[in-house]
Copies of this chain bind each other. A is one copy, B any other.
Amino acid sequence: MVLAATSPLTRKLSAFAVLSEAELAVLAGLHGRRRCFAAGRDMAHQGQADQAAYILSSGWVCSYKLQPDGTRQIVDFQVPGDFLGLRSVLLRTSDHGFEPIVDIEAAEVLTGDLLEVFAQTPRLAMAILWAASRDEAMVVEHLVGIGRRDAGARMAHFLLELGARLALVGLGSREGYDCPLTQYHLADALGLSAVHVNRVLRQLRENGLVTFREGHVTLHDYRGLVAFAGFDPAYLDQTGPLLT
């Protein structure tokens, strides 16, 4: 029970539903098959079939799509408490690849495990659907970012989103958070060149809003950054449980 009470996924889902002891136990059961993966080595590649999904318990992962011309679009980053490849296990063929950014620990989840959880507790099924919906809302924001936001607002919005997600699982605050991403990751996620990323980060720092240096993001002026980015965190739905 200690595991369930403190796992990042439990913390995250508790933002949607107040979970009973029985539900917490079912959730703990999903964390049974723990595995470690090394940084930089693909866990799944695009087009792969019959793969497992994972619940990330520590570390960072990026999910990406390769284009025929070899360019890479990073779709999202996963942080502790996030599912990896939930879509892949449901859609049979993985529509994306994912790769650990640092060494990670994750629990393997198969379709049968999910079906069993759903049969045992419909509220947990709703909570997992909530998490999937929230993931989709983030991808939508990234789409809007690339389609409609200038580079500065796009970067600011992205850093605020990461901060809010990490805060939900106890890994960040309005002051800042640890972040292992390189400028190449940021470039591939935001549709910018690494040089452009560098310039945008310098401007944000010089304007006293945020500093990203040596693996740490420092939010100097949270409100100023929110205004600059036009960041409305409602899509992250972190205001407290809906199902009580």
Contact = CB atoms under 8 A, between A and B. Distances in A.
Interface string A127-168: 011101111110111111011110000000000000000000
Q: How many copies does the complex hold?
A: 2
A92 B126 CA distance: 13
A132 B129 contact: yes
Chain A: number of interface residues, binned into ranges: 35 or more
Contacts of A230: 67-68
Interface in A7-40: 16
A87 B133 contact: yes
B133 A90 contact: yes
A118 B125 contact: yes
Contact of A134 (B91, B130, B149): B91
A136 B125 contact: no
Contacts of A129: 90, 114, 125, 128-129, 132
Nearest to A65: B144
A235 interface: yes
Contacts of A232: 47
Nearest to A71: B148
A45 interface: no
A136 B134 contact: no
A132 B139 CA distance: 13
A62 to B, nearest CB: 13
Nearest to A63: B140
A154 B123 CA distance: 39
27 contacts: A47-B232, A67-B148, A67-B230, A73-B143, A73-B144, A75-B140, A87-B133, A90-B126, A90-B130, A90-B242, A91-B237, A92-B234, A92-B242, A111-B126, A114-B126, A115-B123, A118-B118, A118-B125, A122-B122, A129-B129, A132-B132, A132-B133, A136-B139, A139-B140, A143-B143, A143-B146, A146-B146
Given A129-B132, A143-B143, A148-B191, 7 more contacts: A67-B149, A75-B143, A90-B129, A91-B134, A95-B235, A125-B129, A139-B143
